[in-house]
Amino acid sequence: MNNPIPPSSPVIEEVETGSNLLLGLIGGGIAMLVSAIVWGAVTYFTEYQIGWIAVGVGFLVGTAVRFFGKGRSAIFGIISAALALLGCVLGNLMFYSGVIARENEISFFEVFFFLLVNPSALFEVFTLAFDFMDLLFYGLAAWVGYTTAMETRQRKV
């Protein structure tokens, strides 16, 4: 059978050697933490979940994974979607921790770390605070993260 692209072509080598999954994961993880803090702060101070913040989380994470990872395979998009989803969940955890801390007049960090180390309490808080819009925003962030990380078109200057 005739193979139209020889295995040693420069395009294939660039894709295989130019990508770095670990660097994409680290860059995306940092972007996820930054965007989670922004998500939590905006939600806390406005007392509203804003859909554009979910888009921003996905876009920031997807851009970081694409920039640092330089990968074109589906795993980069999947990692970006997972990190964007985690960023929204972590942002909501920060928001919930802030509200609980304010209502009980205790430290934000005390509540935040209590919830992190007590899965049953964490599950209860997320169950009580659950809203259909949460699913919509989580899905939106994951989709934007995936599509942003997978974008390969070149911009003309």
Instruction: State which residues form the domain around 64.
Output: 19-150
Residues 39-73: tens digit of each pLDDT:
999 999 998 888 889 999 999 999 999 999 998 88
Could you tell me if residue 13 is inside a domain? no
pLDDT at 104 over 50: yes
Q: Using CA atoms, how far apart are residues 126 and 96, in angstroms rounded to an integer? A: 8
Could you tell me if residue 31 is inside a domain? yes
Q: What secondary structure letter does DSSP report for 155?
A: P
Could you tell me if residue 1 is inside a domain? no
Confidence of residue 15 (pLDDT cuts 50, 70, 90): very low
Give the per-residue pLDDT at 114: 96
Could you tell me if residue 88 is inside a domain? yes
Residues 105-156: tens digit of each pLDDT:
999 999 999 999 999 999 999 999 988 888 999 999 999 999 999 986 545 5
Measured CA to CA in angstroms, residue 146 lies from 35, 55, 63, 99, 155 at distances of: 16, 11, 10, 31, 19
CB under 8 A, 24+ apart: contacts of 48-52: 49/92, 49/133, 49/134, 49/137, 51/136, 51/137, 51/140
Could you tell me if residue 157 is inside a domain? no
Specify the number of domains making up the chain.
1
Could you tell me if residue 49 is inside a domain? yes
Could you tell me if residue 44 is inside a domain? yes
Give the per-residue pLDDT at 64: 96
Phi-psi region of 140 (alpha: psi -120 to 50; beta: other; left: phi over 0): alpha
pLDDT at 6 over 70: no
Could you tell me if residue 5 is inside a domain? no
